[in-house]
Amino acid sequence: MTDPTEVFWRAHHGLPREAPGSEATTRLLLHLAGALPGEPAVLDVGCGTGPATVLLAQLTGGHVTAVDLHEPFLDAVAARARAAGVSDRVRTLAASMDEIPLPHGSVDLLWAEGSAHVIGFDAALSAWRPLLAPTGVLVLTEAEWLTPDPAPAARAFWRAGYPAMRTTAGNVDAAQRAGWTVHATHVLPESDWDEYYGPLSARLDQLRREGVPEDLLARVGEEIAVRAAHGGDYAYTGYVLRPRAHGGGRAAG
């Protein structure tokens, strides 16, 4: 196997999650989101294999639409929903996250764990806002710098994949200027990175035993190495946001 793209998808196929996070963090962020309507309409954008999708269906009692462009991920979501007995309240939708074909004002809770960076924080807030109901709430997690002066290796890695990455202060300011109220922020604990990197590391070891060239595996595993060396320079932060016209509040640090 010499195709880097094929190696990437083999490394990620069937992983329990595609970004740092955990059930505990999902529960906490949902609590911070506040009261929801009975049987809310929930949209899980960039759902990956669905670690949040099924849990949101269980915790909210609502109907969840899981959006992703990678069909194998959507198949995994459907399988999880069936196994959890909530397939009647989970549907999958193959769509780009910046052009989701749902009616404006139809979503009570828009959820995006580790996916907003695909189109960028600002673009995500702009694209998703019209989908929210008048009392709707947006919950997302975003990669952020914890320092204005990160290590060169960390800066180089993230600049290649996410050049628009900011500090929390920068994103709070951007959200407020775009007309959002920041009701809460929460820095994800290191254990949430282990939830993602542990299975990925195990998969890389498996591929290594299968004879996949080390240089290709190193490309996939570079993020793990950078995190091990410079994890104090960046984090994922959870946000609870509401359009300012639909509610008050202040930023929480």
Residue 45 lies in a domain: yes
Confidence of residue 124 (pLDDT cuts 50, 70, 90): very high
| Pair type for strands 180-187 and 234-243 | antiparallel
* Tally of domains in the chain: 1
Residue 250 lies in a domain: no
C-alpha span between 100 and 14 (Å, rounded): 25
Name beta bridge partners: 51: none
C-alpha span between 128 and 49 (Å, rounded): 21
For helices 190-209 and 4-12, what crossing angle results, to 10°?
120
Residue 249 lies in a domain: no
72 DSSP 8-state letter: H
**Cβ contacts of 129 within 8 Å, gap of 6 or more:** 138, 179, 180, 243
Structure tokens at 242: 């509401």
- What's the pLDDT tens digit per position in 129-160? 999 999 999 999 999 999 999 999 999 999 99
**Cβ contacts of 178 within 8 Å, gap of 6 or more:** 122, 125, 126
Kindly provide the residue ranges of all beta strands, DSSP E only, lying in the chain, ordered along the sequence: 41-45, 63-68, 90-94, 107-113, 132-145, 180-187, 234-243
Mean pLDDT, the chain, as a whole number? 94
Residue 251 lies in a domain: no
Confidence of residue 97 (pLDDT cuts 50, 70, 90): very high
Residue 38 lies in a domain: yes
pLDDT over 60 (residue 1): no
Structure tokens at 213: 């060239």
Q: Which residue range forms the structural domain that includes residue 85?
A: 4-244
- What's the pLDDT tens digit per position in 28-61? 999 999 999 999 999 999 999 999 999 999 999 9
Neighbours of 35 (CB within 10 A): 7
pLDDT the model gives residue 253: 38
Q: Are 241 and 181 in contact (CB under 8 A)?
A: yes
C-alpha span between 248 and 242 (Å, rounded): 8
Residue 163 lies in a domain: yes
What CATH number corresponds to the domain at position 36? 3.40.50.150
- Structure-token match 């673009």, residue found: 123
3-state helix, strand, coil in the chain (%, to 5): 50, 20, 30
